[in-house]
Structure 1
Amino acid sequence: MFCFMPRFFIFKDLNIGEHTGISGEEAHHIARVLRYKKGDIISISDGKNIEYTGLILDIDIKGPIIEIEIIDKKNADPIRPYITLYCGLPKGEKFEWILQKNTEIGVSEFVPMITERTVANIMPSKSEFKLARWSKIVQEAAKQCMRINIPEVREICDFDTALSKTGDCQLTIIPWENERETSLKDVLKYKGRGASKVAVFIGPEGGFSEKEIEKAVAIGATPVSLGPRILRTETASFAVSSIIMYEIGDIGGR
C-alpha cells in the first residue's frame, strides 16, 4: 500500500553525500512525534523548489538533533499559475484562515492590504510579530499539504502600493459585487489560458469602493462577478483561488 512520506523544511542549499543536522521543532516532530529511527528515510525541502531525500544517520533525543545524509536531490516543478493574493485585512483571525486554506490550494504569495473600508487595525509595534506568525502558519500549512515550496507573506501595504506591484502579471482580477456583465468564468476562459502569473484582489468586510475599482481598472485589472451571492472575505478568497487552480492550474490533475 502506498503512503505519503511527511516532508520537512530545512533552509539550506545541500548536495548529495553532504551531512547536515536538523534541530528545533522539525527535529522534535521527527524524533518524538513520528518516532523516526536511525536508518529511516525522510523527505526534505528547501522551502522553494528543491526536494531532498535524507538518510537518518543519528538521533540525539536530548536535543533533539537529527543527523542526516543527503542521498537524493531534485528540482520540483513550480506551482502554476503563480497566484498573488492581495487581501484587504479582515477582522479577528480570519486572515490566518485565509493564509492556511489558500496555501493548501496553491497560492504562492500573500499581500495583506489596508483599503478604504478596512476595519482591522494592526499597530505598527505589532506588525513584525504578526508577520512572523503569518509566516509560520503558511509553513505549517505547506507541510500539511505536502507542498515543496512555502508561500511568501509580504508586509502590510496600502491599496495603491498593492496595485503598483502587479505590472508583471498577465491577469489581474478584482471580484466586485456591483459587476454585472463580466464573470470570473468568462475571464478565465478568454484571458486566463497561458497566464503564468495571476493577481487576485479581495476586499475586506465592506468590499471595495468605486474609487478603488476605478484605480484598479486604470492599471489593467478586470472587475469580475462571482455570481448572485455575496461571499465573505475569507470565502471569496478561497473560492477564487480554487476556481483559478482548477481552470488553469493543477487541481483535478494536469
Structure 2
Amino acid sequence: MHRFFIKEEQIGQDEIWIRGGDVNHIKNVLRMKTGDKVFLSCENDLEYECSLEEFSEDGIRARILDIHGMETELKTELVLYQGLPKGDKMEWIIQKAVELGAARIVPVRMKRCVVRLDEKKAEKKIRRWNAIAQSAAKQARRGVIPQVSEVVDFQTAVKDAEGLDMLLVPYEEARGMEESRKILRQGKKKASIGIIIGPEGGFDREEIELAKEAGGDIITLGKRILRTETAGMTVLSILMFLLEE
C-alpha cells in the first residue's frame, strides 16, 4: 500500500485532505481511483489507513478507516554526520541512511574533503538531498521524513553531537575489535547515537582529537579500509540490527 506524508492541519475528525505534489502523483502517475487505500503519516507516531473518496483539482479527500501506531521507527535516534564525498555519492548515502533508520543526516566540511561547496551550490544541493530523503522515506515505509541539514564545519558537527547520548567515530587507524563490539552493543541502552564518518581522505588527526574531547568513542570496523559511502552504512546496519524490536 502506498504511503504519503501529511501535515497535522490536513487531518479532520474522520477525514484527511491530501494536498501539494502528492495529488498529481496519486492521480496522474499512480492513477489511483476512488476506493483505493493508502497510508498517511503525520510524523506524530501515528499512521492513518485511509480510503480515497473524492478527487478535485487541488486536493484529494481521504476517509480514515483505522489509526495505527508507527512500527517502522527505531526508538533510538540515529544521526549521521557525513564528511562531504566526491560526485553524487552523497545522494546514495542519504538514500541508504534513510532506509537503515537514520533520523537526521548532517553533511560536514572536513579538512580532507575534496569537495568545496559555495553557498549557492550548497543551498541547491540541500534541496535535492531532502527530496531524496523524502522519496526514500516513502519507499522504506518510514513514519517520519529524516532531515538533511545545512552543511556545517567539523567543530559545529561535534558541538551538535555533544547533545546525544553516544558518539561513534569509525577510524581506519583504530584497533581493538572486541572493544569496538562492546561499544556498539552499548548503543542498545542509548536514546540517541551520532556517527561521524570521514571523507575519502579520512580524518585529520586534529579532528579525531576534537571528537575524543567531545566524548566520542573511536572504533574500528575491521582490518579492511572501507570507502566513505560504505563505512556509515556499515555502522547504521549494525545499529539497526541491534536496536530493532
Fold match (TM-score > 0.5): yes
Q: Does 2:7 match 1:11?
A: yes
Alignment of 1:65-214 (within 5 A): 65-76=59-70, 78-181=73-176, 183-189=179-185, 191-214=186-209
For residues 18 and 83 of structure 2, the distance between their equivalents in structure 1, rounded to whole angstroms, comes to 40
Deviations 1:92-139 (A, max 9, x none): 110110000110010110010001111111111122211111110000
Are the equivalent residues in 1 in contact too, given 2:74–2:101 (CA < 8 A)?
Answer: yes
Answer yes or no: is the 8 Å Cα contact 2:170–2:221 preserved in 1: yes
For 1:192, the aligned partner's letter is G
Percent identity over the alignment is: 38
Is the 8 Å Cα contact of residues 15 and 73 (structure 1) preserved in structure 2? no
Q: Which moved more, 1:223-232 or 1:30-39?
A: 30-39
The TM-score normalised by the length of structure 1 is 0.89
Measure the CA separation in 2 of the matches of 1:105 and 1:82.
12
Instruction: Identify, as 1 or 2, the structure richer in helix.
Output: 2
The yes-or-no answer on 1:221 pairing with 2:216 is yes
Cα deviation for residue 23 of structure 1 reads 3.8
Residues 44 and 54 in structure 1, CA contact (< 8 A), matched pair in contact too = yes
Alpha-carbon distance in structure 2 between the residues aligned to 1:225 and 1:198:
17
Which residue identity does 1:46 align to in structure 2? C
Structure 2: 5+ residue stretches without partners: none
2:29 is the counterpart of 1:33 = yes
Q: Runs of 5+ in structure 1 lacking a partner?
A: none
Asked if the contact 1:10/1:46 (under 8 Å) is kept, the reply is yes
8 Å CA contact 1:175, 1:201 repeated in 2: yes
Q: Distance in 1 between matches of 2:212 and 2:20?
A: 48
Deviations 1:183-210 (A, max 9, x none): 5322123x32311100000000011011
Number of equivalences: 242
- Cα deviation, residue 74, structure 1: 4.2
The residue identity in structure 1 corresponding to 2:48 is Y
- 1:39 Cα shift? 2.1
Tell me if 1:59 matches 2:58: no
Deviates more, 1:141-150 or 1:120-129: 120-129
CA distance in 1, matches of 2:50, 2:140: 20
**Alignment-mate amino acid for residue 55 of structure 2:** I
Displacement of 1:48 in angstroms is 5.0
Q: Is the 8 A contact 2:105 2:148 kept in 1?
A: yes
Q: How far apart, in 1, do the equivalents of 2:123 and 2:113 lie?
A: 19
Under a length normalisation based on structure 2, what TM-score does the superposition of the two structures give? 0.92
Alpha-carbon RMSD across the aligned residues, in angstroms, is 1.8
**SS at the partner of 1:127?**
helix
Query: Given residue 78 of structure 2, which amino acid in structure 1 is its aligned partner?
Result: I
CA shift for structure 1 position 46: 1.7
AA partner of residue 128 (structure 2): R
Whole-Å Cα distance in 2 between the matches of residues 39 and 16 of structure 1?
19
